[in-house]
Amino acid sequence: MTEADTQPPNMPIHVAIHEALRLADWAVQDRAALEGTGMDWQLCEDLTTRSAALRHAEALWANERFINEEAQAQWKKKSVQAYDLRDTMVHTFRFAFRKRLDLGRLVDQIAQGNTHVDMLQDLKDLAVAGRRNEELLTAVNFDLSKLDQCENLAEELGRIYAEARNDRQSYRQAKLIRDKIFTLLKQSVDEVRAYGQYVFWRDAQRRSGYSSEYFRVRNRPSETPLPSETAPEQQPEQQP
């Protein structure tokens, strides 16, 4: 199955699994009638195996989402420290390099941009610029260990940022596999339901088992109260 042929879930996964297994049980009672119209019984067996596969795939993706949520929490906490360090470094460098026009321009160039990616790159660039001009920083009593701190924080936050942004290959792959298995299950469900609705087109009770309760309830129109149940319209008070 190509990614283009994959259908994202149109209902909660646990609901899709429940309805597929319920359909499998319902169809067993009608096996002879369904097979009598040419339905391959493998379709019903696929409902069970594909439901199990979908449950497993959903669990794997849930684990990837947990990693993502953990990364978002770490990013929220540590990015504050990173931005503060970047701003402090820029402030210090501008003072330390104030007599060097070329270095001043370099710091201004590094400080441009206000995205998270810019900030991470700024930390790396500041570390490089600082190591090349340690004597100017030492002259203003700058703590050179902050250069290592910049580089290390940029590397650490770069990984966290990728996880928080769902840029990991494992996250994308887990979701794609989950969606593909859902698509396969839906194909089986739709086909079995099509046969069932065809066979029992005059039997409303049996036909009801070959439709989605989830969508039947969701698409049910809200009840409009009868006129007698509505409050009388309030007339505006007459102004004196």
Residue pair 86/122 in contact by the 8 Å Cβ criterion: yes
Using one digit for the tens of pLDDT, what is the confidence trace for 133-162? 999 999 999 999 999 999 999 999 998 888
| Averaged pLDDT for residues 41-53 | 96
* Sequence-ordered list of residues with C-beta below 8 angstroms from that of 111, at least 6 positions apart, any chain: 90, 122
For 189-231, what is each residue's pLDDT tens digit?
Answer: 999 999 999 999 999 999 999 999 999 888 877 654 544 433 3
Structure tokens at 16: 């899709």
The rounded distance, in Å, linking the Cα atoms of 75 and 29 is 54
pLDDT in tens, 5-36: 999 999 999 999 999 999 999 999 999 999 99
Q: Is 232 exposed, middle or buried (0-12, 13-18, 19+ CB in 10 A)?
A: exposed
pLDDT at 220: 77
Distance CA 65, CA 94 (A): 42
Say whether pTM exceeds 0.75.
no
